[in-house]
Amino acid sequence: MKNNVVGWFEIPVTNMDRAIKFYETVFNYSLHHEPMGPLDMAWFPFSEGSGAAGSLVCHEDFYQPQSNGTLVYFSSEDVNNELSKIEAAGGTILQPKTLITEDIGYMALFMDSEGNRIALHSRK
């Protein structure tokens, strides 16, 4: 297999402006907002290579935030970098930085501003 199995992800939101502000604050990058009629999207930065690209997506009929659905892991240099911004940005830390194994690294869980359970992963 040449690429990772997952090629795209979408995180449901109910308030796009609030969600964009949350993710831009926590991860310190800009999202590209693209309203498309009843479907509203904001794309995370991406480049060719390993990993999956994705977006925030808002549509009243088809997308609802979930606290117990599929779990998306965001890559990090050190999960504490993002964890330190979660609560001030309107989210909640569910699990602090936790060692998975020495070979795999660390993870943490948080609830975003929209009610989605999201994870972080770092090697250190």
The per-residue pLDDT for 1 is 52
* Cα atoms in the Cβ-side hemisphere of radius 13 Å centred on 37: 1
The per-residue pLDDT for 3 is 67
The per-residue pLDDT for 47 is 84
Q: Residue-wise pLDDT tens for the chain (124 aa)?
A: 566 778 899 999 999 999 999 999 999 999 999 999 999 999 999 887 777 899 999 999 999 999 999 999 999 999 999 999 999 999 999 999 999 999 999 999 999 999 999 999 999 9
Kindly report the pTM of this predicted structure: 0.92
- Reduce the secondary structure of the chain to three states and give it as a string: CCCCCCCEEEEECCCHHHHHHHHHHHHCCCCEEEEECCEEEEECCCCCCCCCEEEEEECCCCCCCCCCCCCEEEECCCHHHHHHHHCCCCCEEEEEEEEEECCCEEEEEEECCCCCEEEEEECC
Domain boundaries, given as residue ranges, for the chain: 8-122
The per-residue pLDDT for 7 is 83
The per-residue pLDDT for 66 is 92
The per-residue pLDDT for 76 is 95
What CATH fold (topology level) applies to the domain 8-122? 2,3-Dihydroxybiphenyl 1,2-Dioxygenase; domain 1 (3.10.180)
The per-residue pLDDT for 11 is 97
Residue 4's CB is within 10 A of a number of other CB atoms, namely 10
